[in-house]
Structure 1
């Protein structure tokens, strides 16, 4: 199976995007960063390649690049260690210029979302480790039976 994931995202202003994600506490792998792209490190094996729109276009010739502020093509969901971490990350994003999305609280699962400077949707979520182990439906059934 796969060992890593690289998500490629078109951005209007690479410097502004680097500053935005830096304010959230993320770093960049400078080995894979230049005037056209920045390798945003999201985890040990998770990287978002932020690509200037014209450079991104070279990977999808003949296709239109969406404007993520008006059209959704994907939601990027990242795990968090706790409900508090979910809130802290989303609060930092909003303070750095993101648009708040929404919050969902299902007890055993808690998530909140934001839209970055280019309109890409990011959801930060936490799930109770017991729910991860049992599976959400089985965990909910166990909690209901108690």
Structure 2
């Protein structure tokens, strides 16, 4: 029997929960107030994927490991798909206008288009559009 998860919760530490909440709201993501307070915001990525952005103190309560310095290292690249190339560009350009930074230039692989940004705390996000009809033709 294959293991399948019901939901995915991505836990990320941030310097300022309020600023990060504003950043993700302006990108178009909703949040779940049921799992949010002054230390944490639950950002809804999709029906089954959530980012729990929390202040460093709260985050450190979940791990005994050092919290990485995201200005010099990365712990993960969070990739998600969108419905079009235009949505990739719109999302990344919006992130940049809100204080995010580019971490990759747009990459056009024909059937797939990807562009990445750093959020306010240096976490890496990547928006991708995949043309499945072009993929099936190859």
TM over 0.5: yes
Work out which of the two has the higher radius of gyration on C-alpha atoms and give 1 or 2.
1
Q: Does 1:111 align with 2:114?
A: yes
Segments of structure 2 that go 5 or more residues without pairing to the other structure are none
Measure how far apart 1:67 and its partner are.
1.4
Other-structure match for 2:62? 59
> What is the Cα-based RMSD across aligned positions, in Å?
1.1
Other-structure match for 2:16? 13
TM-score when normalising by structure 1: 0.88
Residue in structure 1 matching 2:38, options 35, 38, 42: 35
Q: Cα deviations across residues 1-27 of structure 1 (Å, max 9, x unaligned)?
A: 112111000101000101111111111
DSSP 3-state at the match of 1:73? coil
Structure number having the greater helix percentage: 1
Residue in structure 2 matching 1:50, options 48, 53, 58: 53
Alignment of 1:83-122 (within 5 A): 83-101=85-103, 102-122=105-125
DSSP 3-state at the match of 1:123? strand
DSSP 3-state at the match of 2:106? strand
What is the number of equivalent residue pairs in this alignment? 134
